[in-house]
């Protein structure tokens, strides 16, 4: 489910895979993992760079 779908249908339920992915991101963020490492990309001057820990 992307941001547009969520905005258009805020009452929609997510499936188990989406829930696990969301919980994984929250866990990583709570352990101070940089969001660039979580998503594997860093944006800089209109360019995208692949990043790894």
The answer on pLDDT for 1 being more than 90 is no
* pTM for the whole structure: 0.65
Q: 4 in helix, strand or coil?
A: helix
Spell out the SS3 assignment of 8-52: HCCCCCCCHHHHHHHHHHHHHHHCCCCHHHHHCEEEECCEEEECC
The answer on pLDDT for 2 being more than 80 is no
pLDDT of residue 10: 85
For residue range 33-50, list pLDDT tens digits in order.
999 999 999 999 999 999
pLDDT of residue 34: 92
DSSP single-letter state for residue 5: H
pLDDT of residue 5: 84
């Amino acid at each position: 489910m992307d941001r547009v779908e969520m905005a258009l249908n805020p009452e929609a339920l997510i499936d188990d895979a989406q829930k696990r992915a969301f919980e994984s991101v929250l866990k990583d963020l709570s352990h101070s993992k940089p969001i660039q490492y979580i998503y594997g990309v860093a944006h800089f001057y209109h360019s995208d760079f692949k990043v790894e820990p």
